[in-house]
Structure 1
Amino acid sequence: MKISYHYLVFFVLLLINCHKNIPKPITPEIIPIPVSQTITEGTFILNNAVSVNYQDEFKSVANYFSEYIEKQYDITLTTAKTGAKIQFLKDDTLKNEEAYILTITPKEIIISASSAKGAFYGVQSLLQLMPVATNSKSMAIQCLEIKDSPRFVYRGMHLDVARHFFSVDFIKKYIDMLAMLKMNTFHWHLTEDQGWRIEIKKYPKLQEVAAYRKETLIGHYSDQPHQFDGKRYGGYYTQEEIREVVTYAAERQVTIIPEIEMPGHSQAAIAAYPELGCTGDTIEVATKWGVFEDIYCPKETTFQFLEDVIDEVVSLFPGKYIHIGGDEAPKKRWRNCAHCQQLIKEKGLKDEHELQSYFITRMEQYINSKGKQLIGWDEILEGGLAPNATVMSWRGTKGAVEAAKAHHNVVLTPNSHCYFDHYQSTHENEPLAIGGFLPLEKVYHFNPIPKELTKEEAQYVLGAQGNVWTEYMKTPEKVEYMIFPRVAALSEVVWSSSKQKNYDDFKKRLLSFFKRLDHLSINHANHLYELRGKPLYAKDSTFYILEAQISGKDIRFTLDGTIPTEKSTLYTAPIPITKSVTIKAASFDKKEQIGAVFSKDILKHKAINQTISLSVPPNPTYGKGGKEILINGIQGNKSRYGDKEWLGFDTDSVSITIDFEKPTAISSIITRFYNSVGSWIYPPKKYTVSLNNGFTKEVVLNTTSETTVKSRISIPKQTVKQLNITISCFGKIPEGEQGAGHLAWLFIDEIIVD
């Protein structure tokens, strides 16, 4: 009996120890969320004893999977057909070539697809069911069944490598990041005013001259005066490197669309070959950002050059499309060019816009002759759209609507929802960006189908694309920070069914996805624990509301500008504002602060909660906060006009009237105007303040290089019921400046009345 007892204890301990060693599966939290996912009982144990079986059509995908597992988890799969197995099976009943079925049971994993594309996306979902890291050579995967297919055929991401150049290794990593999220198109922006990045053997000066600029702008374009680093900068991809990248992308089911800009954004090429321009003058590769007047001249030598370039580009990229840009092409050189004016007459064209259409149409014909199709930004609509062109609509959705109604294919990439070079947070410490404000939630709720389209017209919408312009992204780490997690939100926009999408659920899955990004050494922003705030007005009182994006955490705050701690006041209700204060707040997980500190200066002044009216509405893009933001006690960001605290107008003048509920004694009026020449934003030349009692004062603003222009008017103390501010906007932008000839923007901030 004694011996039996010891054996029993040993056996029980053995069972307990074995139970402890059984790996547990992670909760399925796939991004983009599948169309259908059913959890079943049990787990599949993946270890060195598992075999991989596949048909020849799926060999490359099976090899990709096996190599990934070996590299990330040190598990080597076998080819034996005994025991647990992973199978790739062809299923011709799946009519969508990108569709897949993933079935996981305790004994096998089956990925069914009609093509390698679908099988590859099945693999990407399977990889997200695996733990981020494991110390053992064994892992458990939750049993389930997924039936999945994409919403759109075009799921793209763009990368500008001309403003800043990135290595082949990073381009491969970028492609891996897209593939992980089932994105299938990489738009490679290879030529610009600031650099030419693709080797063209017939034109060696493109590598010798156009690929390098003598120096680069320091800081933001809006900073005045402009300063430069004095360092030669550049580089290009050899044709051998490009073939290597194209092959790498194809193995990950990613098609590359090369972009060769024309007729604008071509200063680098003209610097190498001055005869391509209208003047023939020697110019330099651009050293700062913006839009430049030197563009390709539509003469035979230019077309021969571009056709030669296209010949070499076509030989490198097997995909369907060649992107020719077509955007932001100033017509000044063409207006002053005898050849261009003669060509307009010869071809019976109306103006320079139709000349651009002629230019694009001619290049399209050549591109079509090479078995490719032309795709370009929505400016290619101007003057008439080339017959077979596909349009990328970036200036809102108007271009997409126009093209789709004309039965042209379109890709939606509006700057309002798809420009990942814009700020993603209003936090003061956000790294420098070009401007704008595009938070994660706005990307997630983007619908690529414009509401103006009928069901039939909507069929011409191929999908959507995120754009990454790199003026202010010098390093791979910065690029990663700017695209993640917004690209994850976009992946769900273009892949997942709208019925499956839920932003709160997405945020929960994203927190787990961040761990995966960390393990893969992918930098990313995490603003999910950042707080948001907004004022709340009662009849005679002002409150401030704090909101967390992730529930279940404490919010603690201070009102004296000090950093909150775990002992600071717990937020439980809107904060009463009885005087001007600086609120600082943060989320806490017990005693640990999580997320950045929220900070907001709240001004208590006499115009708050009064009645305000405008003579003209602000531009819809820069007026979403409503007219009330001009008297809500909160000033806009000093370096970003894209936040909702600035109102933007594209008019000649605007009149602002504030009506007080009762006679109010006032002595001063303070406001601010934004000043960013590079963004076409100018402070007004003058404005006039009028009170209902007959007092009037005109203020002339002096020219300054400051980003914000503050103006204060002292008024002999008096009691009024109404005040009016009439602003004369700057007018047309002068020659030599960005946006010359266009109406300047006016941006106005809080109107502080004391």
Structure 2
Amino acid sequence: MLLPLPCSAVPGDGVFPLAESTRITAPGELAPTARWLQSVLRPATGLPLPVSGMAEPAPAGSALALALDPDLPAEGYRLACGPGGVTITGGDTAGVFYGCQALRQLLPPQIYRAAGTAGVRWAVPYVTVEDSPRFGWRGAMLDVARHFMPKHDVLRFLDLLAVHRINTLHLHLTDDQGWRVEILRHPRLTEVGSWRRESQLGAAPDAPNDGRPHGGYYTQDDLREIVAYAAERHITVMPEIDVPGHSQAAIAAYPELGVQGERLEASPRWGINTNILNAEESTLDFFLGVFDEVMDLFPGRFIGIGGDECPKDQWDADPRTRELMAERGLGDSKELQAWFLGRIGAHIAARGRRVFGWDEILEGAVPEGVAVASWRGMTGARTAARRGYDVISCPDDQVYLDYRQSELESEPIPFAVPLTLADAYAFDPVPDGLTEQETARILGGQANIWTEHMDSPRTVDYYVFPRLCAVAEALWSRGGRDFDDFLVRLRPHLARLDALGVEYRREDGPLPWQSRPGVPGKPATRADWTEFIDGLVAHIKT
């Protein structure tokens, strides 16, 4: 009952019991993984499970042995359980870690609890599992700008991602409604921009505000801790600083960054905002400094720069901006946005990193080394791959986990189209019609968790699970899709989520306290939504 579904699992006849004599053995390079495995098996079992090196072989039939085999694929593993114990062999350290996650799933679900459970028999069934992932980018985007998630809960979320073999956490750190990352050279970004006086309650344009201040931010020490904690679980944390739109919180902190120079506040309203950054060299220098501090905190390959939903009204109406465009030989404001993002992209590339941007960046000159996040359906994925750019697929109608989960009136703050568990399971990051060479440009995919309507970690649980379980299998598993088989394996997996304290959505709908009666939503039919998205991307189709 493994989830995600492995490439193969051949059961045997018998079980290997964990006992006081059981120990974990590992070579030196796998010692951190061995210690992690010990840390997650000890609390529930109450067993000591000492860790020893390979030079100290355990008695026959008593070991959980970890090993490396470079002939196995990257992130792949082989788990073999028999009378001699359990051996987990990985193509690399990540593969060994994922084999350890499979081992946990072979034990009773109480293994996910934080303290012992009386009467549980801790035994691993005899089995041989061979497995490796389909895609290298298996991600989840968490929006902590709209509603801040405290560090403790981010660490918990990383643990949940690791259970599901997800290896990328995309942190959306800045937006109109809040700035969440400490920047030492610009302290007002968090002193002013990290909180708002109230929040919109609901999705409708005329929804009221709640009158309640909201805020929070991560110190640089917090972020170093998050990055290190993630790395121990073979998860890369990718930051996103959204420019030149979605920037009102930054402008609230430093009004000189805005086009009109007005003193603003971090926005208490959702939606697309017309307040954007100006195009002065001083503003560009400001953000190059921001990205320098961000790159010092996040060592991963990609750095998110946004580029999405940037209305050009203020630029088009501003004489100074038109003067700057003329000086730079730019024909219009779309070319100005491409110039702005290109300068940031070049700065990031000079530090050996690559740019991650939303598919709006295809509307102009594309920054060097870009990976395009295709969110407006799959048009951006198809277009980018054909133009020779790398792609992360995250189509809104398949993996936007803020979308409502059914047509039930009890769904909390129903937004956009229904995105069911079956819809999420059907997600395929590779669009139709690509050549083999173009298909190789699809790095993988991710689910996006926008939090306008998720004001607590409990609410995030409800929107995300179990749909993220389905997305995880879509990104990991190489075999054909069988939703009925997935449901058979999901049901015991929900017992694991129960043990972990995840307040997921039940199959028959929200529990009473998960609904939000009286809070307006903004639902749409799939036909209307498809027409809307098609209109947004009509001019980038190839």
Worse-superposed segment, 426-435 or 468-477: 426-435
Offset, 1:359: 0.8
1:480-629 superposed matches below 5 A = 480-499=461-480, 501-527=481-507, 529=508
1:254-278, CA deviations, whole angstroms, 9 ceiling, x for partnerless residues? 0000000100000000011011111
Instruction: Decide which of 47, 60, 72 is 2:32's aligned counterpart.
Output: 60
Structure 2 counterpart of 1:458, one-letter code: T
Secondary structure class of the residue paired with 1:525: coil
- The corresponding residue for 2:133 is 150
CA contact (8 A) 2:257 2:278 kept: yes
1:32-111 superposed matches below 5 A = 32-79=4-51, 81-83=58-60, 84-94=62-72, 96-111=73-88
User: Structure 1 268/46 Cα, relative in aligned 2: closer, same or farther at 3 Å?
Assistant: same
- The corresponding residue for 1:457 is 438
- The corresponding residue for 1:443 is 424
User: Structure 1 214/639 Cα, relative in aligned 2: closer, same or farther at 3 Å?
Assistant: closer
Instruction: Decide which of 96, 103, 106 is 1:119's aligned counterpart.
Output: 96
- The corresponding residue for 1:392 is 373
Offset, 1:436: 2.1
- The corresponding residue for 1:573 is none
1:300-326, CA deviations, whole angstroms, 9 ceiling, x for partnerless residues? 111111011111111111100110110
Question: Is residue 2:346 matched to residue 1:365?
Answer: yes
1:208-227 superposed matches below 5 A = 208-222=191-205, 224=206, 226-227=207-208
Structure 2 counterpart of 1:380, one-letter code: I
Partners of 2:451 and 2:279 in 1: how far apart?
Answer: 29
CA contact (8 A) 1:221 1:289 kept: no
Percent identity between matched residues is 38
Partners of 1:186 and 1:440 in 2: how far apart?
Answer: 21
- The corresponding residue for 2:113 is none
Offset, 1:82: 1.7
1:7-22 superposed matches below 5 A = none
CA contact (8 A) 1:433 1:472 kept: no
Instruction: Decide which of 284, 296, 313 is 1:315's aligned counterpart.
Output: 296
Please report the RMSD computed on the Cα atoms of aligned residues, expressed in angstroms: 2.1
CA contact (8 A) 1:74 1:137 kept: no
Partners of 1:244 and 1:495 in 2: how far apart?
Answer: 27
CA contact (8 A) 2:35 2:51 kept: no
- The corresponding residue for 1:160 is 143
CA contact (8 A) 1:221 1:288 kept: no
Partners of 1:444 and 1:523 in 2: how far apart?
Answer: 20
CA contact (8 A) 1:47 1:138 kept: no
- The corresponding residue for 1:634 is none
Partners of 2:123 and 2:107 in 1: how far apart?
Answer: 8
CA contact (8 A) 1:44 1:142 kept: yes
Partners of 1:647 and 1:300 in 2: how far apart?
Answer: 41
Secondary structure class of the residue paired with 2:383: helix
Instruction: Decide which of 184, 188, 191 is 1:201's aligned counterpart.
Output: 184
Secondary structure class of the residue paired with 2:496: helix
Question: Is residue 2:523 matched to residue 1:641?
Answer: yes
CA contact (8 A) 1:411 1:464 kept: yes
Partners of 1:347 and 1:38 in 2: how far apart?
Answer: 64
Partners of 2:511 and 2:221 in 1: how far apart?
Answer: 45
1:2-28, CA deviations, whole angstroms, 9 ceiling, x for partnerless residues? xxxxxxxxxxxxxxxxxxxxxxxxxxx
1:489-514, CA deviations, whole angstroms, 9 ceiling, x for partnerless residues? 00111000133x31101001111111
Structure 2 counterpart of 1:45, one-letter code: P
CA contact (8 A) 1:162 1:196 kept: yes
TM-score by length of 2: 0.92
- The corresponding residue for 2:305 is 324
Question: Is residue 2:122 matched to residue 1:139?
Answer: yes
- The corresponding residue for 1:609 is none
Partners of 1:493 and 1:297 in 2: how far apart?
Answer: 41
Structure 2 counterpart of 1:504, one-letter code: D
1:246-325 superposed matches below 5 A = 246-325=227-306
Secondary structure class of the residue paired with 1:155: strand
Partners of 2:529 and 2:386 in 1: how far apart?
Answer: 31
CA contact (8 A) 1:51 1:82 kept: no
1:527-550, CA deviations, whole angstroms, 9 ceiling, x for partnerless residues? 2x57xxxxxxxxxxxxxxxxxxxx
Offset, 1:138: 4.5
Structure 2 counterpart of 1:513, one-letter code: H
Partners of 1:358 and 1:286 in 2: how far apart?
Answer: 26
TM-score by length of 1: 0.66
- The corresponding residue for 1:174 is 157
Partners of 2:355 and 2:203 in 1: how far apart?
Answer: 34
Secondary structure class of the residue paired with 1:478: helix
Pair member with larger Rg: 1
Structure 1 counterpart of 2:180, one-letter code: R
Offset, 1:649: 8.8
Structure 2 counterpart of 1:177, one-letter code: L
1:702-721 superposed matches below 5 A = none
Partners of 1:339 and 1:264 in 2: how far apart?
Answer: 18
The structure where helix makes up a greater share of residues is: 2
Partners of 2:85 and 2:524 in 1: how far apart?
Answer: 52
Partners of 2:323 and 2:415 in 1: how far apart?
Answer: 39
Secondary structure class of the residue paired with 1:308: helix
1:459-511, CA deviations, whole angstroms, 9 ceiling, x for partnerless residues? 00000100000000001011011010110000111000133x31101001111
CA contact (8 A) 1:45 1:106 kept: no
CA contact (8 A) 2:204 2:521 kept: no
Secondary structure class of the residue paired with 2:192: helix
CA contact (8 A) 2:414 2:521 kept: no
CA contact (8 A) 1:88 1:111 kept: yes
Segments of structure 1 that go 5 or more residues without pairing to the other structure are 1-28, 531-593, 597-637, 652-678, 680-731, 733-738, 743-754
CA contact (8 A) 1:184 1:254 kept: yes
Structure 1 counterpart of 2:490, one-letter code: L
Partners of 1:326 and 1:242 in 2: how far apart?
Answer: 23
Structure 2 counterpart of 1:106, one-letter code: P
Partners of 1:235 and 1:45 in 2: how far apart?
Answer: 46
Partners of 2:397 and 2:203 in 1: how far apart?
Answer: 21
Offset, 1:212: 1.0
CA contact (8 A) 2:355 2:368 kept: no
Offset, 1:409: 0.4
Partners of 2:367 and 2:528 in 1: how far apart?
Answer: 37
Secondary structure class of the residue paired with 1:218: coil
1:111-164, CA deviations, whole angstroms, 9 ceiling, x for partnerless residues? 111311000000111111110124247412111111100000000001101111
Offset, 1:343: 2.5
1:232-247 superposed matches below 5 A = 232-247=213-228
Offset, 1:640: 5.3
1:429-457, CA deviations, whole angstroms, 9 ceiling, x for partnerless residues? 11224332100101111211111211110
Worse-superposed segment, 375-384 or 181-190: 375-384
Secondary structure class of the residue paired with 1:217: coil
- The corresponding residue for 2:3 is 31
Partners of 2:45 and 2:218 in 1: how far apart?
Answer: 33
User: Structure 1 334/446 Cα, relative in aligned 2: closer, same or farther at 3 Å?
Assistant: same
Secondary structure class of the residue paired with 1:375: strand
